[in-house]
Structure 1
Amino acid sequence: MLKQFFIICSGADTDLLNQCSKGEQNKYAGIGATVFFTALMAFIASSYALFTVFDNLFTAIVFGLIWGLLIFNLDRYIVSTIKKTGNIIDEFIQATPRIILAIIIAVVIAKPLELKIFEKEINQVLLEQKNQLTLNNKNQIAEQFTPSIEALNNDIESLRQQINAKETEVNQLYNTYIAEAEGTAGTKLVGKGPVYKEKREKHDALLAELQALKIENKSKINDAETQIAQLKADYDTQVLDSQPIINNFDGLMARVNALGTLPWLPSFFIFLLFLAIETSPIFAKLLSPKGSYDLKLEDQETAIKTVVTQNKNQRKLQLNTDNAINDRIYTDIEQEEALYNYKRNKARELMQLHVDAFFKNQKNAL
């Protein structure tokens, strides 16, 4: 049962192959087994690749099955259409387009399995790329908020410098009127004289200005700090909102690109393995000697071709004969006087009927 199934997979004529030896049947069973397991590998590879795209197991299996059946049909067609002619060069030229197609199929099958085999290494590469993307994302978002935050910090610093400058001026006036009272500076008269009172009033006025400035600037500083806090909150929100996009950076194209950053030699050997699997039925067919099945198939096709050619030539000769006979018949009839008189009488009757009908129509119209 299994042998018969693999023979069907090879695309061979089962009725014709049953008339051949066991060795010939085993050869085509081996070719069919290669075709079947190549399609099975294609199903597994495409299912995994599609699962990385859709993240849905059922969808991946359905489309993977369709792809596996497509590869099975292509391989079966490729193997079954290679005809043994006995000339290896002619057979190779005949199989060249099929070998190119087999190489393309091998690439398509091998790549998803490479992604699965090197999954851990690919995940490490993707993790490094995600971390770099996260840093780049934070820097790009920060560029939107940093100028505003720095401007607000500069305003706060300017407001504080105004307060400090006013405090320094008030302290200087305080020291001045104290020194005037002690007699160590100014008029150098001990006591609270007119000069002392003047300097004290000036100090008190400036101190009142300092208190008002502190209240005003503190309100402005609080507003600026509130705006800075809001900007920082907006920055954190944008970072959190964009992070899931970076976390999902592990699709099929990202994995293929990550695989490209790994050493090429292991991937190349895996590709060679699948190339050997995919092309093995073709080369097995090319390298195998012309067997009894090929001879029987050639005999059957040649017989059909001969019959078709004979039928075609026979129809062509029959057509030429019929044309020659018809030409002779109508040439002879052309010279008969009786046929001429008969046709002339019928034409006269037909013209009379036309005249009568025209007269009747004209009469009815009046």
Structure 2
Amino acid sequence: MLKQFFIICSGADTELLKACSSGEQNKYAGIGATVFFTAVMAFIASSYALYTVFDNLYTAIFFGLIWGLLIFNLDRYIVSTIKKTGNVIDELIQATPRIILAVIIAVVISKPLELKIFEKEINQVLLEQKNELTLANKQQIAEQFNPSIETANNKIAALNKQIETKEAEVNTLYDVYISEAEGTAGTKLLGKGPVYKEKREKHDALLAELEALKQENKAKILAAETEIANLKGNYETQVVNTQPIINSFDGLMARVNALGELPWLPSFFIFLLFLAIETSPIFAKLLSPKGAYDFKLEDQETAVKTHVMQNKNQREALLETDYAINDRVYGDIKNEEDLYNYKRKKAREIMQLQADAFFKKQKNAL
């Protein structure tokens, strides 16, 4: 039962193989087994690849099964269409497109399995890439908010500078009127005279302005600090909202690119392994000598071809003979007097009917 199943997988004619030796049947059973297990590997590889895309086991298995059946059908077609002609050059030319297709299939099958085999190494590469993306993302978002934050900080610094300048002026006036009272500067008269009072009033007026400026600038500084806090809060919110996008950066394309960052030699050997598996049925058929099955298949195909060519030649000969007979028949009867008189009579009747119909039509028009 298993042998028969693998023979069906090989794409060989089961009826012809029944009449061949066991060795011939085993050869095609081996080719069919290779085709079948290649399709199984394609199913496993595509299911894993699709699972990384859909994150759903049943969906991945369903589409993986379809892909496995497609690969099975392609491999079966490739093997079954290679005909043993006995000419190595012709067979190689015949097999070249099929080998190219087999290489493509090997790449498609091996890549998802490479992703699974080197999963830990790929995860490490993805982690480093995510960290770099996180830092770059924070920097890009910061570039959106930093100008506004810097403007607000400059505004606070300017407001504080105004207060400091005003305080320096008040302190200067304070020193002036104190020195006047002590007699160490100004009029150098000890005591609180008119000059002292004048300088004290100027100091008190400027002090009042300072208090008013502090109250005004305090409100402005508070508003600027609130703006800075809001900007920083928006920055943190945007960082948090965009982080899940970076965290989900582990899809199929990201993993394939991460695999490209790893040393190429292990991946190359895995590809060679699947290439050998995929092309082994083709080369097995090319390298094997022409067996009983090949002779029987060639005999069957040439018999059909010969039968078709015979039918075609017979139809052409029949058509040519029919033309010749018709020419002779019509040549013999074209000079017969009875046929001429009969046709002349019928032509006269037709012309009379036409004349009567024309007369009635003209009469009705008048």
TM-score by length of 1: 0.97
1:66 maps onto 2:66 in alignment? yes
Deviation at 1:361, TM superposition (A): 4.1
Residue type at the aligned position of 1:241: N
1:228 maps onto 2:228 in alignment? yes
Residue type at the aligned position of 2:315: R
* Secondary structure at the counterpart of residue 269 of structure 2: helix
* Secondary structure at the counterpart of residue 262 of structure 2: coil
Deviates more, 1:258-267 or 1:355-364: 355-364
- Residue equivalent to 2:308: 308
**Counterparts of 1:116 and 1:345 in 2: how far apart (Å)?**
95
* Secondary structure at the counterpart of residue 186 of structure 2: coil
* Secondary structure at the counterpart of residue 274 of structure 1: helix
**Counterparts of 1:219 and 1:363 in 2: how far apart (Å)?**
115
1:267 maps onto 2:267 in alignment? yes
- Residue equivalent to 2:179: 179
Residue type at the aligned position of 1:132: E
Deviation at 1:356, TM superposition (A): 2.8
1:102 maps onto 2:137 in alignment? no
Deviation at 1:295, TM superposition (A): 0.9
Deviation at 1:122, TM superposition (A): 1.1
* Secondary structure at the counterpart of residue 44 of structure 2: helix
* Secondary structure at the counterpart of residue 355 of structure 1: helix
CA RMSD in angstroms comes to 1.3
Q: Deviations over 1:186-205 (max 9, x none)?
A: 22322211121111111111
Deviation at 1:182, TM superposition (A): 2.1
Deviation at 1:235, TM superposition (A): 1.0
Q: Deviations over 1:40-65 (max 9, x none)?
A: 11111111112212222222222211
Deviation at 1:32, TM superposition (A): 0.3
- Residue equivalent to 2:121: 121
Number of aligned pairs? 366
**Counterparts of 1:345 and 1:206 in 2: how far apart (Å)?**
142
Deviation at 1:270, TM superposition (A): 0.7
Q: Deviations over 1:135-179 (max 9, x none)?
A: 111111111111111111011111111111111221122122222
Residue type at the aligned position of 1:40: V
Identity of aligned residues (%): 82
Residue type at the aligned position of 1:354: Q
**Counterparts of 2:360 and 2:150 in 1: how far apart (Å)?**
110
Residue type at the aligned position of 1:4: Q
TM-score by length of 2: 0.97
- Residue equivalent to 1:51: 51
**Counterparts of 1:159 and 1:96 in 2: how far apart (Å)?**
82
**Counterparts of 1:359 and 1:230 in 2: how far apart (Å)?**
106
What pairs with 1:166-205 in structure 2 (closer than 5 Å)? 166-205=166-205
Deviates more, 1:183-192 or 1:200-209: 183-192
Q: Deviations over 1:259-299 (max 9, x none)?
A: 11111101110110110000000000001111111111111
1:353 maps onto 2:353 in alignment? yes
Residue type at the aligned position of 2:10: S
**Counterparts of 2:359 and 2:189 in 1: how far apart (Å)?**
158
Deviation at 1:78, TM superposition (A): 0.7
Residue type at the aligned position of 1:251: G
- Residue equivalent to 1:286: 286
Deviates more, 1:99-108 or 1:81-90: 81-90
1:27 maps onto 2:32 in alignment? no
Deviation at 1:66, TM superposition (A): 1.4
**Counterparts of 1:88 and 1:114 in 2: how far apart (Å)?**
35
**Counterparts of 1:32 and 1:308 in 2: how far apart (Å)?**
32
**Counterparts of 1:30 and 1:207 in 2: how far apart (Å)?**
105
- Residue equivalent to 1:17: 17
**Counterparts of 1:342 and 1:164 in 2: how far apart (Å)?**
137
Q: Deviations over 1:197-245 (max 9, x none)?
A: 1111111111111111110111110011011111111111111121121
**Counterparts of 1:191 and 1:256 in 2: how far apart (Å)?**
91
**Counterparts of 1:226 and 1:355 in 2: how far apart (Å)?**
111
**Counterparts of 1:178 and 1:304 in 2: how far apart (Å)?**
130
1:88 maps onto 2:88 in alignment? yes
Deviation at 1:364, TM superposition (A): 5.0
Deviates more, 1:169-178 or 1:22-31: 169-178
1:215 maps onto 2:215 in alignment? yes
- Residue equivalent to 2:326: 326
Residue type at the aligned position of 2:199: K
Give the unaligned 5+ runs of structure 2: none
- Residue equivalent to 1:138: 138
Residue type at the aligned position of 1:60: A
Give the unaligned 5+ runs of structure 1: none
Deviation at 1:363, TM superposition (A): 4.5
**Counterparts of 1:360 and 1:87 in 2: how far apart (Å)?**
83
Residue type at the aligned position of 1:215: Q
